[in-house]
Amino acid sequence: MKIRLCCAQLRARFSDGACSALLLLVLFTMSFGMRMQTNDDGQNTPARAQEVDHALAPRITVAALTVPSADDENPHDFAGLRNVVAFNRELISGSVPEGAAGFESLVALGIKTIISVDGATPDLARAGAVGLRIVHLPIGYDGFDDARKAELVRAVRDLAKPIYIHCHHGKHRSAAAAGAIAVSLGWFSQAQAAARMKVSGTAAGYPGLWSCVANSAVMSNAQIDAARDEFPAITRGSNLVDAMVELDEILDRLKHGQPSGVIASSAESDSVNAHSPLADASLLADRLRTLTLDAADDSSAVHSASGGVERVRWSDQQRALFQRHLAESVARAATFESVIAAAEKGRVSAREAESGEALRALSASCVACHKALRDARER
């Protein structure tokens, strides 16, 4: 009825042709407007759905980057990424992504999945913001066992590719993991994998990492299928007690046979020993760097003076004190690691006294923390 009245009014003012054209325009506008609204069921119509999808879509502002080649003889640096080395077009090794720029660079490189072999908790928020999945499978500077290698191999075989595998610096652990994976999947021989590790800058002072690649062989699908396929986004570390025990063991190894406090080079150590001075120095720095207040939370188990295990509640003052001592130890461990790394490059004679002093300073930090927190509680 309303449409007929509208037509009569239009004919009174316009010609029949103009009236028909104007009426069609009105009807089309009304129909389009109705389609843009939410339907009776409350479901999103095309316009609304498009708005929602746009809100959820990653906002990438970095232009596409040239993907490194497995033939490159030098590592690459990108915004937020260092020591980027391709082991093949589906597996790239490098450093931990730094800030939003690092994750945007990964997207610009076409990366679909991130595998972290670092001990630190991955940045899930930034990865999720750009639509990247993270799998956290930490390994040590002294190498990794067959079970962890199989997990890494299965992750690379099964997950969306290309895959970016990283540790902290992108030189040692991620390169060794990538090398072992490449050999296990039949992409590389051991020699080819070792050559790519050298491009990454993997130091000779990590015999455990090198042996993991040298001892790798092609795995069958049945062997790979037997590995765990949980692919965790975060792998939780040990509690404070376990962490302290491990740190004490590392310090003892570094001090063992060094009455003068001088650290021998890896060349002077047993070549098959995974716990070389450089490996232990890096492991010590890494463990301290990734040790957070979470490990010393109210529910942490600690050894009591009687030899048992008890639960303690840390005060705000104790937690602040722990944080201060930890920061000091992290800094001194980093200094010690750099000294040993310099010694590995042939400057042993010039660095011997300094390495001994750096180790003593680090040990002093541990003793001070024990006196302030552990020993004070046990008295």
CATH 1.20.120 region(s) of the chain? 240-378
Predicted confidence (pLDDT) per residue in 185-206, tens digit: 999 999 999 999 999 999 998 9
Predicted confidence (pLDDT) per residue in 62-76, tens digit:
578 999 999 999 999
Question: Does 177 have pLDDT greater than 80?
Answer: yes
pLDDT in tens, 210-252: 999 999 999 999 999 999 999 999 997 666 766 776 787 888 8
Average pLDDT over the chain, rounded to an integer: 76
Both structure tokens of 228: 């765990």
CATH domain 240-378 topology? Four Helix Bundle (Hemerythrin (Met), subunit A) (1.20.120)
pLDDT digits (tens, 9 = 90+) for 91-117: 999 999 999 999 999 999 999 999 999
* pLDDT at residue number 295: 52
Instruction: Assign a CATH topology to domain 76-225.
Output: Protein-Tyrosine Phosphatase; Chain A (3.90.190)
Comma-separated ranges of CATH 3.90.190.10 domains in the chain: 76-225
Two structure tokens written together for 201: 């800058």
Higher pLDDT, 342 or 94: 94
**pLDDT at position 141:** 87
Q: What is the pLDDT of residue 253?
A: 82
